[in-house]
């Protein structure tokens, strides 16, 4: 899952990287299980060698395969190919299997960070993180973030560190690369 280092800026470091919360796979997993059970049952009930029985069995198996591909394998591949990367300078979201979609937000543009948790998400300890900026794009909404409250605090911490770095306070001076007081 490691984000390629070659895509990072000079002296940029990854603080945290993750995938969406595993709850994203609950419904696809249940659909997979139900499809296999129902199609196996229907295929075994359709006993015989007549043309109608063979046609019905083929329809059951084909529809089951389509259902599994569309509602189980596709969401799993999307989950597997989605990356949330938090660096010391920006937030990076990459998603997509065949077509990749990426969105970056520099920490210097962060104005507000909020989270939203439904009752189920509170039980599963995840939620939606919304990072607002003053830029044209508005906000970056990241769904199914594990431990979203901690991530909100982490984004604020990273913002403060980035702000101090850019101002040259209490860390490395951006111009000289030397320690400052």
Average pLDDT score over residue span 64-93:
96
pLDDT at 181 > cutoff 80? no
pLDDT at 158 > cutoff 50? yes
pLDDT digit string, tens, across residues 13-69: 999 999 999 999 999 999 999 999 999 999 889 888 889 999 999 999 999 999 999
Query: Rounded to whole angstroms, how far apart are CA atoms 171 and 15?
Result: 17
70 or 134: which carries more pLDDT confidence? Answer: 70
Query: Rounded to whole angstroms, how far apart are CA atoms 166 and 171?
Result: 10
Dihedral of CA atoms 160, 164, 166, 172 in degrees, nearest 10, equals -130
Q: What is the pLDDT of residue 138?
A: 79
Query: Rounded to whole angstroms, how far apart are CA atoms 106 and 102?
Result: 13
Q: What is the pLDDT of residue 173?
A: 47
CATH topology of domain 14-20+86-167: PH-domain like (2.30.29)
Query: Rounded to whole angstroms, how far apart are CA atoms 29 and 149?
Result: 27
> Domain boundaries in the chain?
14-20+86-167, 25-78
Q: What is the 3-state secondary structure (H, E, C) of the chain?
A: CCCCHHHCCCCCCEEEEECCCHHHHHHHHHHHHHHHHHHHHHHHHCCCCCHHHHHHHHHHHHHHHHHHHHHHHHHHHHHHCCEEEEECCEEEEEECCCCCEEEEEEHHHEEEEEEECCHHHHHHCEEEEEEEECCCCCEEEEEEEECHHHHHHHHHHHHHHHHHHHHCCCCECCCCCCECC
């Amino acid at each position: 899952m490691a984000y390629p280092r070659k895509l990072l800026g000079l002296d940029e470091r990854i603080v945290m990287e993750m995938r969406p919360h595993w709850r994203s796979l609950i419904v696809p997993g249940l659909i997979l299980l139900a499809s296999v059970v129902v199609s196996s049952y229907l295929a075994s009930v359709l006993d015989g060698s007549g043309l109608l029985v063979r046609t019905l069995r083929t329809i059951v198996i084909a529809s089951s395969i389509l259902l599994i591909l569309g509602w189980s394998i596709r969401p799993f591949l999307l989950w597997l190919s989605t990356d949330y990367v938090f660096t010391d300078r920006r937030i990076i979201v990459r998603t997509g299997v065949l077509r990749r979609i990426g969105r970056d937000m520099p920490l210097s543009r962060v104005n507000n960070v909020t989270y939203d948790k439904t009752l189920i998400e509170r039980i599963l300890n995840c939620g939606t993180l919304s990072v607002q900026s003053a830029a044209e794009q508005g906000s970056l909404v990241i769904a199914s973030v594990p431990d979203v409250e901690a991530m909100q605090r982490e984004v604020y911490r990273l913002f403060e560190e980035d702000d101090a770095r850019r101002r040259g306070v209490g860390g490395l001076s951006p111009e000289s690369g030397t320690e400052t007081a």
